Amino acid sequence: MPCRCGHDARYVDRRGKTFTSVLGELELERAYYHCSACQQGFCPRDRALKLEGFALSPGALRMTGAAASLVSFEEGSQLLKELAGISVNAKMVERAAEALGAEIAADERQDLQPAATPIPATLILGMDGTGIPMRRTELEGRAGKQPDGSARTREVKLCSVWSAESRDAKGIPVRDEGSVSYTAAIESAASLDTDPNRSEFAERVLREATRRNFFEADRQVVLGDGAPFIWNIATELFPRAIQIVDRYHVKGHLIDVGKALFGATSEEGKLWRKQRCDELDDGKLDALLEELRHHAATCEDARKCADYIARNRDRMRYPEFHAQGLCTSTGVLEAGCKVAIGTRLKRAGMHWTVRGANAIIALRCCRLSGRFEDFWERRAQRMAA
């Protein structure tokens, strides 16, 4: 029997092991081998069933993964006991969920099968980032926003695709139910100039676009908050897509400028903020920029906001976008950051490793995107091969 180190291992005997299944504990007898080269023992059957790291049957593993994708490992252990009657301690939930999430992450890199569903006339792809708390060992040498210049978080970059063919009573595009999919990880969105390959996140975005038939849509829209990495990826991967900066994100900048100029509660400031937001909605960007630049010499926030709008003005043609029935808000994406990432990974007292966080993110995105069943079917096929 070949060992993972490449040498042949010898058969020793048959050994029993207790596994937790959906029906309770089961005893399984397996052949045990030992490798004299690396001094490691193993059971081929455990490897084949992917049970080396933990004693859970595929059914119990699936339950454990589902629970861990929703709540903390401790709460997941309690749910499994209360709802399924199986005992899996919190540490085992953690190990199993992270192993399963790593499997799902590897599967995501291979799963490029386009969805077998009708392609909407318009598909929207959004990109964003959100920080999650990390263990100190994962932050050594990283600059951050703390008073001493250190970091407490790492950024998860998220890509989401959805459609909005529906309209509300005012004719504003509304996300189509069941159309949203997510993919995310702590990974770089930048490539070195000497690197001929795309960044890790750009490759992730490309895979999601392929799965969602983004290239086949009559209209492709890329939405973002204005971060340069978003437009770099969009320009490279989707040259015919319409690029739109989230309108409410721009308004947030204008509101901050108004507060910096006139204070947070003054009536003059409220009027100024309303006038600037109205100019944005009406497409009067020249007038808006003129007003911001008027204050640029004395207000750093005004200068930065003017530069931001000037740099992205082609992506802020909101009257034109509205006339075309296009979304101008990343509300779906903002909600995705909260639902897919924040709800599970940003709870009080949580501190993650990159490996652990990426595993749980992969597990959670898989479930929220409606791909959990497809993953288990592919997993079963691989195990049977």
Distance from C-alpha of 68 to C-alpha of 79, rounded to nearest angstrom: 10
In a domain, 21, yes or no: yes
* 242 domain residue, yes or no: no
Partners of 243 in the beta sheet? Answer: 222
Amino acid at 263: G
Q: Whole-angstrom Cα distance, residue 164 to residue 322?
A: 13
Q: Give how many domains the chain has, as a whole number.
A: 3
Mark whether 177 and 97 lie in a shared domain.
no
Q: Are 167 and 174 in contact (CB under 8 A)?
A: yes
Does 345 lie in the same domain as 230?
yes
Asked if residues 378 and 107 have their Cβ atoms less than 8 Å apart, the reply is yes
164 alpha carbon, distance to own chain's centre = 20
- What is the distance between the alpha carbons of residues 155 and 128, in angstroms, rounded to a whole number? 10
Asked whether the CA dihedral 72, 77, 81, 83 is positive or negative, the reply is positive
Strand order in the sheet with 242-245: 181-185, 153-162, 122-133, 219-224, 242-245
**66 inside domain:** yes
Q: Which long-range contacts (CB under 8 A, 24 or more apart) does 286-289 make?
A: 289/313
User: Is the alpha carbon torsion for 58, 63, 68, 74 positive or negative?
Assistant: negative
Whether residue 161 is contained in a domain is answered as yes
Together in a domain, 231 and 308: no
DSSP class of 165: -
Q: How far is CA 381 from CA 49, 50, 56, in A?
A: 12, 13, 19
Q: Is residue 328 a part of any domain in this protein? A: no
The dihedral over CA atoms of 62, 63, 65, 67, expressed in degrees to the nearest 10, equals 160
Residues 141, 223 within the same domain = yes
- pLDDT computed for residue 4 by the predictor: 85
pLDDT lower than 50: segments of the chain: 192-194
Q: From the centroid of its chain, how far is CA 231? A: 18
Closest CA to 366 of 50, 101, 87, 44: 101
**Same domain, residue pair 252 and 205:** no
Query: How far is it, in rounded angstroms, from Cα 356 to Cα 361?
Result: 9
Give CA 251 to chain center in angstroms.
25
Q: Please report the DSSP string for 30-82 in residue order.
A: EEEEEETTTTEEE-HHHHHTT-SSS-B-HHHHHHHHHHHHHS-HHHHHHHIII
Do residues 98 and 142 both lie within one domain?
no
CB 135 within 8 A of CB 93: no
Do 292 and 171 reside in the same domain of the chain? no
Nearest to 364 by CA among 183, 156, 188: 183
pLDDT value of position 385: 66
Domain that holds residue 192: 122-236+335-351
Total Cβ atoms within 10 A of residue 356: 20
Q: Are residues 135 and 230 in the same domain?
A: yes
Q: Is residue 356 part of a domain?
A: no
304, with CB counted inside 10 A (0-12, 13-18, 19+), is middle
Find how far residue 89's CA is from the centre of its chain: 27
Same structural domain, 264 and 192: no
Residues 191 and 340 in one domain: yes
> Is residue 26 domain-resident?
yes
> For residues 372 and 385, what is the distance between their CA atoms, to the nearest angstrom?
20
In a domain, 363, yes or no: no
227 and 343 housed in the same domain: yes
State whether residue 237 is helix, strand or coil.
helix
Considering the domain architecture, whether residues 178 and 252 belong to the same structural domain is answered as no
